Amino acid sequence: MDVYLDYNATAPLRPEVASAMTAAFALCGNASSVHRFGRLARRAVEDARETIAVSVNAAAAEIVFTSGGTEANNLALRGSGRPVLISSIEHDSVRAARDDPGLIRVDSNGVVDLAHLEELLNAAETPLLVSVMLANNETGVVQPIDQVAALAKQFGALVHCDAVQALGKIPLSFAGLDVDMMSLSAHKLGGPQGVGALIIRDGLNLVPVQRGGGQERGRRAGTENIAGIAGFGAAAALAAQAVEAAPELVDMRDHIEARLRAAVPDAIIYGAEASRLPNTVCIGLPGVTNEVQVMALDLAGVAISAGSACSSGKLTPSHVLQAMGASDDAAASAIRVSLGWQTSAGDCERFIETWTALAKRRESCELPEQSVA
């Protein structure tokens, strides 16, 4: 049986989510229509909005539904109208949202450099928007967002937090982090792909990126994805339960890392000294590219990834690991293993055995040929 260990790319759809979406597919009304069918569709949207708000300690009115985390990030960065500072380990959807972002350094464990952030804020001529992710998608390293927000507010800056990887893995409170905007995505926690949200602090006005019919209180135009939103709500309802199960993932993660280190002493585990998500392992195998590792594991029935799923098709080293000080060769030899709600101890053992066997073949050069396409 194949083993799936790529939850940070997307998590398998939960049965409760599939049921909620099936019920929503039966609704034929447009949520903007005032007749009974439209009101039923609107009720499904608002019920999901309330559930998601509870799961992240936000007000329902602060939630704007989007097509996913990428759109949420773009709305935050492009809609603020301010110059932007981002951390050097942000997801590509943040990095590419603006042409001219300032970059905040991180340390060797991938934690944002607060002293450097203060320097950049102090040098700014106008108030900025600071965007720092809560948890990195490649390494799982968790950022001190509360400290980032406190520092930014001293300089009159707004703060956006990409929390796409955090929901359902660690406790998450929009109000507690004291940020102005937060991005979410459904499919990282067992919801459907193609739906997300940007939480916008009450009273903060953004320039809409997508315009048209005035949905989402004029903040994001477009007919609502009723089934997707209902599925998002069902997944969010399970977020607290998923967080409670996190210690089991930590045990599996730590077991994987201990076994890999014992078998391959020169393997590099990135972010190991920092606070991390419970489910994420980012490990480098010197001398073997991540492309070869991904292919070899896939042939053995084990699915992992080479960093971000959004950029894993590119033959370039990880910008995240480079920002942490890794060389090009080291960054190009790292893979990401991410666990989730269906992961078993047997899955972990299958990965350990397969990867360890690959590492042993490294010494005898019995590796698959690297693709040049």
The β-bridge relationship of strands 181-185 and 129-131 is: unpaired
Which residue type does 162 have?
D
Q: What residue spans of 105-225 are helical by DSSP H?
A: 114-123, 145-154, 174-177
Long-range CB pairs of 248-257, under 8 A, 24+ apart, other chains included = 249/278, 249/279, 249/339, 249/340, 249/343, 250/278, 252/339, 252/343, 252/345, 252/348, 253/278, 253/279, 253/280, 253/281, 253/339, 255/348, 256/281, 256/337, 256/348, 256/351, 256/352, 257/281, 257/283
**Number of C-beta neighbours around residue 296 at 10 A:** 18
Under DSSP, the state recorded for 14 is P
Catalytic residue among 28, 310, 348, 365: 310
Helix/strand number for the chain, H first, E second: 14, 12
Q: 28 catalytic, yes or no?
A: no
Angle at 337 between CA 331 and CA 342, to 5 degrees: 165
Under DSSP, the state recorded for 218 is G
Distance CA 196, CA 167 (A): 12
- The residues annotated with a catalytic role in the active site are 310
